[in-house]
Every structure is written in C-alpha cells, then in structure tokens.
Amino acid sequence: MVKPVRSFTFLQHIRPRRIPVAALRFGATLCLGGISFLAFLITVGTGVLLLFHYEPGKQAYISVASMVSLAPYGGIIRSLHFWAAQGMVVTVLFHMARVVWHHAYRPPREKNWVIGVFLFLLTLILDFSGYLLRGDREGAGAAEIAQSLLRGLPGGAGLAALFLGSIELGHGSSLTLYVWHVFILPGVLLVLQLWHFWRVRRDGGVRAL
Ligand code: HEM
C-alpha cells in the first residue's frame, strides 16, 4: 500500500517522489485523460488561429466560408479545431468509462469524480456552443431549440439571454455566445483541469489495479 503524496509544491507535484509501478502501465489509464488534455490544447491552439478571421454576428457564416477558401491553411485549421473538439468529447467519455471500470470514483477519489462530472458537462457545452457559432441555418436552428429548452426552466428566459444572447434564424451568431465559447468556457475548463490533475496526485496518484 503506497501512502498518498501529501506535498503540494509545484516541483514535488510534477515529480512526485513515489509512483506505484502498476500506475505507470499503459493499461492503468489507457492514456485517456492525457489524450483528452492534448485534444483540449489542440482545440485551444487552433481556436486562437481561427480568431484572426472569424467575425461574430451577421458576418459569421461569410467569415467562416471565406476563411476556408481564402485564408492560408484556413480549411486545415478549421478541420483540426472541429475534429480535436469531437475527439475530446469521445476521449473524455472513454476516460470516464475507464474510471468507472477501475472503480476509481470511490473514496478517496470521489471529489475528483465530481470535478470530472463538471469537466464532462463543460466539454459538451463548449462543443455545442461552437456548433452554434457557425452562423448557418443548422446552427441557428439548434440555438432556437436550446433557447426553448432553457426557457422551459424556472427563470429560464434570463438564463437563455445570459448564455445565448439574441439569436435570429439565418442572422449569423450571437456575440454573447462568442464570449462564452472563446473566453469563459475554455478558461473555466482549463482551471478545472489543472485542479483535476492536482487532485490526482493529492489522492495518491492513479488507482493501480
Ligand atoms: C477535460 C476532461 C478531462 C481531462 C483532461 C482529464 C484528465 C485526467 C488525467 C490526465 C488523469 C490521470 C491519468 C488518467 O487516468 O488518464 C485523470 C484521472 C481521473 N479522472 Fe479525469 N479528466 C477529464 C475528465 C474526467 C471526467 C469526465 C471524469 C469523471 C466524471 C474524470 C474522473 C477522473 C478520476 C476519478 C481520476 C482518477 C483516476 C484514478 O485514480 O485511477 N475525469 N483525469
């Protein structure tokens, strides 16, 4: 039985003094948490590049179309952004399944499981918000459905305005949604991920079977 690491300095955190050998085996994690984080980094990196061309609002659709056909490497960068985001959703799901399979949600890791649930929800919301930013008819239709669903909740009209802003079918994307997608959601996701990694060590490292 390896004692949980109780030191919190940065260096001791990234280079803990003891790691159970079994926890280093590929089969212990299938590297799924790490791959999810890599997908997040690729999404952020390509997203920053997309910002140089994308215009929220009425010009959204045209700016995306011209980015793909005119901007250097625009199509590749947009595809990478899209597929890294979809990849992240899939690997987070598999990572969650791996945690369940290994019973790693049990004490002392239950707090990290709860952080993970928020990571999962945020990943889905971030993915969905990106779809709404395209400014095409499908995106606007999906935004309208999200708007109606939110409005069905108590205080939902306020929530819909806070998250979606004003969305009209066929009139591009909303500035409110853009701010959530580009700044707030990735920022919160990053902070939660760093907390998640810190908790892995705090709970004694990955559960070695
Ligand atoms: C942004 C999404 C996520 C990232 C980047 C991430 C990353 C990681 C990493 C790197 C590890 C250590 C290695 C590994 O197990 O692969 C880990 C462990 C863990 N994750 Fe996640 N994770 C995410 C989402 C989730 C979700 C959705 C859950 C569950 C709801 C979750 C629950 C856990 C738990 C309980 C551990 C400890 C596992 C153990 O000790 O065996 N994580 N995570």
pLDDT tens column, 45-78: 999 999 999 999 989 999 999 999 999 999 999 9
In a domain, 36, yes or no: yes
Prior bond of 108 cis (ω within 30°): yes
Closest CA to 175 of 129, 119, 209: 129
Asked whether residue 47 is domain-assigned, the answer is: yes
- Residue 87: inside a domain, yes or no? yes
Cα–ligand 1 centroid distance for 206 (angstroms):
9
Percent of the chain clearing pLDDT 90 (strictly above): 74
Average pLDDT over residues 83-102: 98
Number of independent structural domains in the chain: 1
Has residue 114 got a pLDDT over 70? yes
Q: Which structural domain range is residue 47 located in?
A: 27-202
* Range 1-17 average pLDDT: 63
Query: Does some domain include residue 97?
Result: yes
Question: Given ligand 1 and candidates 105, 125, 127, 196, which is best to mutate, with the most ligand atoms within 8 Å of its CB?
Answer: 196
**Pocket test residue of 26, 43, 98, 99 for ligand 1, highest count of atoms within 8 A of CB:** 99
Amino acid at 75: G
The answer as to whether 124 is a domain residue is yes
- Other CB atoms within 10 Å distance of the CB of residue 55: 18
Q: Give a yes or no: residue 73 inside a domain.
A: yes
Cα(196) to centroid(ligand 1), Å? 7
Which residue's CA is minimally distant from atom 5 of ligand 1? Answer: 37
Evaluate whether 164 touches 150 at the Cβ level (below 8 Å).
yes
HSE toward the beta carbon, residue 56, CA cutoff 13 A: 20
Which pLDDT band holds residue 209 (cuts at 50, 70, 90)?
Answer: confident
18 three-state secondary structure: coil
CA distance 66 to 150: 33
- Per residue in 127-181, pLDDT (tens digit) is 999 999 998 888 888 988 999 999 999 999 999 999 998 766 567 788 999 999 9
- State the CATH number of the domain containing residue 111: 1.20.810.10
CB-based pocket (< 6 A), ligand 1: 29, 32-34, 36-37, 40, 92, 95-96, 99, 102, 104-105, 109, 112-113, 116-117, 119-120, 123, 193, 196, 200, 206-207
* Residues 188, 177: Cα–Cα separation, whole Å: 15
Residue 18 falls inside a structural domain: no
Nearest CA to ligand 1 atom 40: 206
Q: Is residue 4 one of the residues assigned to a domain? A: no
